[in-house]
Amino acid sequence: MAIHHGRGFASINYPIGMNLGGDPSQALVHSTPDGKFKVTLSSIDLGQGIKSVGRQLAAETLGVPVEDVFVDTADSDTGPHDMGSFASRGTHRMGNAIIRAATEARAQLLEAAAEELEVDASDLVTDGRGNIHVKGAPSRSITVEATATAAQFNQGRTLAGRGMFLVPLSEVDRDTGEMTPVSSFAHAALIIDLTVDDETGEVEVQHINSAYEVGRALNPRLVEQQLIGGAWMGVSHALYETTEPYYPDRSHGPIDFNHYLQPGPGDAVPHHISVLERPAPDAPFGGKGPGEMCANPVLPAIANAVFNAVGVECDSLPITPEKVLRGIRANGGARPQGRPGA
């Protein structure tokens, strides 16, 4: 019996969103009479943080405090059209739509304030703290709340905006058919350190080191949390989760998450993350978002690390102890590949 150490590497570039039909997203922004703003989306928050990021993007564009913005993703039947929460498209597609809707709503807000202050709307600025004032003359001001109240009760004006984002269609080479269907890519590189027990076949992840290029980290804490959680989703897919051999017959399969095999909090290991910020020109304030890129490189990195540790190539998931033992026996024993400098 021996414990073998392995290291695996994987890198990816991940296309943001879908490639056909412009991948449209719409957003609506409107003000309540007390100067709060609601962003209406049909892109559901699955835990990836689209509500938090949407609030930030709308508040920044409107020029109001983030605590005065709320995001509603309640109903795709009555909300604006959106293609869905998948393909890592939330920040890029919905973010662009939110900015466009908020820009239109901001123009309405400044028009209403201009009427109250008897100035031209182009002479007004917001301070991000709930006030609107004349450029160079902060004493001539009105609050966003007072503006919203006046707009709806005195002026009969709606402070609202609509926004839609479409990916520009790519030109197509008439001779070759070559095109560029994806407007934005995210990138990642990841190293997994693990051990393999050649008597039991058990694989135990020891450490993760990763680097992610996300455009711009609009909410650094959310980015970090998504990267850590996504990595453990990848570990779970690589080593634990499966419905085989029962699928589609589940009569002897797991019936709930108490029986479904997956890692728990006690299985978490140190994970060092480097976030590389290279703002994307077509992304909202440069941010593309981590999305599915969090989990994708983990699976091949673990497979590579297992091969590095014992020389077993696994071409199906999950990499179970049984598969590892079968591979070791087929090879006539563990065959560590060694590591440079080890």
Residue type, 110: L
Q: What is the mean pLDDT of residues 164-186?
A: 83
What is the model's pLDDT at position 244?
66
Is the pLDDT at 235 greater than 60, yes or no? yes
**Burial letters for 43-76: b for 16+ Cβ neighbours within 10 Å, e otherwise?**
bbbeebbbbbbbbbbbbbbbbbeeebbebebeee
Pick the closest to residue 318 from 266, 260, 252 (CA basis).
260
Is the pLDDT at 304 greater than 90, yes or no? yes
Tokens 């609601």, located at residue: 38
What is the model's pLDDT at position 100?
97
CB 203 within 8 A of CB 319: yes
Greater model confidence, 247 or 33: 33
CATH class of 22-167: alpha beta
What is the model's pLDDT at position 86?
83
pTM for this structure? 0.86
Q: What is the mean pLDDT of residues 323-335?
A: 94
Confidence of residue 335 (pLDDT cuts 50, 70, 90): very high
Q: What is the pLDDT of residues 67-110, one digit of tens each?
A: 999 999 877 788 888 888 888 888 889 999 999 999 999 999 99
| Cα→Cα distances 207→7, 191, 273, 292, 293, Å | 10, 8, 11, 20, 19
What is the model's pLDDT at position 1?
76
Is CATH 3.90.1150.10 what the domain over 3-15+184-330 is classified as, yes or no?
no
Query: What is the location of CATH 3.30.365.10 in the chain?
Result: 3-15+184-330, 22-167
Pick the closest to residue 196 from 1, 4, 329 (CA basis).
4
What is the model's pLDDT at position 341?
52
Pick the closest to residue 38 from 98, 121, 128, 126 (CA basis).
98
Confidence of residue 342 (pLDDT cuts 50, 70, 90): low
Average pLDDT of the chain to the nearest whole number:
90
Q: What is the pLDDT of residues 18-36, one digit of tens each?
A: 876 788 899 999 999 999 9
Q: Rounded to the nearest 5 degrees, what angle is found at the Cα of 229, between the Cα atoms of 224 and 3?
A: 110
Q: Which two tokens stand for residue 75?
A: 């109903």
The side-by-side arrangement of strands in the sheet containing 160-165 is 69-72, 37-40, 25-31, 160-165
What is the model's pLDDT at position 29?
97
| Cα→Cα distances 125→58, 112, 120, 138, 295, Å | 16, 13, 11, 9, 42
The phi and psi torsions of 116 (rounded to 5 degrees) equal -70, -35
